[in-house]
Amino acid sequence: MLEAISKYLDQKVAPASPKFDAHEDSIADARRALFEKGVTQIAYPAKYGGLGLPFGIYELAMELVGNADASIALSMAIHNTVAEGLLQFGSERLRQDLIPDIISGKKLASFSLTEPTSGSDAKAISTKAKRVGSDYVLNGSKAFITNAGEADAYFVFASTDKGPSAFIVDGRSPGIQFGGDLPKLGMRGSRTAEVKFTDCRVPRDMLVGEEGKGFEYAKSMLNGSRIVMGSICVGIAQTAFAQAVAYSKQRRAFGSPISEFQLTREKIADMKTGISAGRLMCMHAARVRETGGDYASEASQAKVFATEMSLKVCDSAIQLFGGHGYTTDDVHRHWRDARLLTIGEGTSEVLRMLIARKELARSL
Amino acid sequence: MRVAVCVKHAVDETELRIDQSGTPLVEGSPSKMSSFDKSAVEEAVRMRAARGGEVTIFTVGSPDAKRTIKEALAMGADKGVHILAELGTVDTLGTARLLAAAIKMAGGFDMVLCAEGSSDTYTGQVPPMLAELLALPFVGYARKIEFKDHVVDVEQSLEESVTSVECALPLVVSVVSEINEPRYPTLIQIMQASKKPLMDVPRDTLGPAGFSGGNVGVVSMSGKPMNRKHIMIEGTPDEAAKKLLDALASEGVIPK
Dist CA A234 CA A285 (whole Å): 14
What is the percent of chain A with per-residue pLDDT over 70, rounded to a whole number?
Answer: 100
Q: Would strands B9-11 and B31-33 be described as parallel, antiparallel, or unpaired?
A: antiparallel
Q: What type of residue is A12?
A: K
Average pLDDT for A1-16:
94
pLDDT of residue A237: 98
Q: A147 with A190: CB under 8 angstroms? A: yes
Instruction: Kindly list the domain boundaries of chain A, sorted by start residue.
Output: 2-103, 109-211, 215-362
Helix (H) or strand (E) holding B4, with range, is strand B2-6
Residue boundaries of the structural domains of chain B: 2-211, 226-256
Q: Answer yes or no: is pLDDT of B17 > 90.
A: no
Which superfamily, per CATH, for A215-362?
A: Butyryl-CoA Dehydrogenase, subunit A, domain 3 (1.20.140.10)
Residue A239's contacts (CB-CB under 8 Å, 6 or more residues apart) are: A14, A67, A68, A334
Task: Give the per-residue pLDDT at A176.
Answer: 97
CB contact under 8 A, A7 and B184: yes
Q: Is pLDDT of B212 > 80? A: no
What's the gap in Å between the CA of A1 and the closest CA on chain B? 6
Topology of the domain comprising B2-211:
Rossmann fold (3.40.50)
ipTM: 0.83
DSSP B196: S
Q: Measuring CA to CA, how many Å separate B22 from each of B15, B91, B123, B225, B229?
A: 15, 23, 21, 8, 20
- Say if A360 is an interface residue toward chain B (CB within 8 Å): no
Q: What is the pLDDT of residues B120-137, one digit of tens each?
A: 889 999 999 999 999 999
A327-362 tens-digit pLDDT? 999 999 999 999 999 999 999 999 999 999 999 999
As a whole number, mean pLDDT of residues B54-75 equals 96
- What CATH superfamily classification does A109-211 receive? Butyryl-CoA Dehydrogenase, subunit A, domain 2 (2.40.110.10)
Check whether B2 has a pLDDT greater than 90: yes
Residue A256 has pLDDT above 80, yes or no: yes
pLDDT band for position A320 (50/70/90)? very high
Query: Averaged over B81-93, what is the pLDDT?
Result: 88
A345 catalytic? Reply is: yes
Q: How confident is the model at residue B160 (pLDDT cuts 50, 70, 90)?
A: confident
Fold of A2-103: Butyryl-Coa Dehydrogenase, subunit A; domain 1 (1.10.540)
**Mean pLDDT score across all residues of chain A:** 96
Cβ contact (<8 Å) for A38 and B74? no
Distances (CA, A) of A240 to A86, A235, A250, A329: 35, 9, 16, 12
| Residues 9-48 in A contacting B (C-alpha not used; CB under 8 Å) | 12, 36-39, 41-42
Residue A138 reports pLDDT greater than 80: yes
A266 CB within 8 Å of a chain B CB: no
User: Once rounded to an integer, what is the mean pLDDT over residues A110-139?
Assistant: 90
pLDDT in tens, A49-61: 999 999 999 999 9
